[in-house]
Structure 1
């Protein structure tokens, strides 16, 4: 019986830790956060605010943010395609994001903040 209980606990932990992604929250109009502020998981189509996704991908705000953060050219294009390309992937974005040097990641996070967003990674 104990083994079954431990197996269920382990399964629950694995299920809870399975979904990693980089969450983006829009802070404009919601300076203290709150459940009603627009959010999305970068690269996960349809997960979050469609309006925010359109603003970042189709209206070019993400390209502007990546340029302002001085992301190296190859990584910049890879991040954009992982977030907005035809085969967008939250996992791929996360992999590229964590492959960046610490200072580059910090610069990117600060640039998002300058544009009115909070950038958070999620998962175990």
Structure 2
């Protein structure tokens, strides 16, 4: 429930920061005789926040999938190690696919960590 407004707010904040960073370039385009901003820069700014508003159900399902991935990662040793890590990687990949590229970038560290644990799981401690 908290992930949706947090992710949406983060993307909107990033879009605003990029808008401020692009201001000097739009000023230089104006000095060069072009009255409008670059179409590529405008498209970058306008596309960033669209996924957070167009697909709320997809984002909700992605949040549930990521919670399931965290659960599987935490209890991976009880499930048999690689089975839990494989499930965590697959559900995180599903969450990245459903949330789209801008929001999915926040989950890249999670899938890298799960992949490392999948490739070389920790050895269990002797009792």
Please indicate, yes or no, whether the TM-score normalized by the shorter chain is above 0.5: no
Higher RCO structure (Cα 8 Å, ≥6 apart): 1
Larger radius of gyration: 2
Which of the two has greater helix per residue? 2
| TM-score with structure 1 setting the length | 0.27
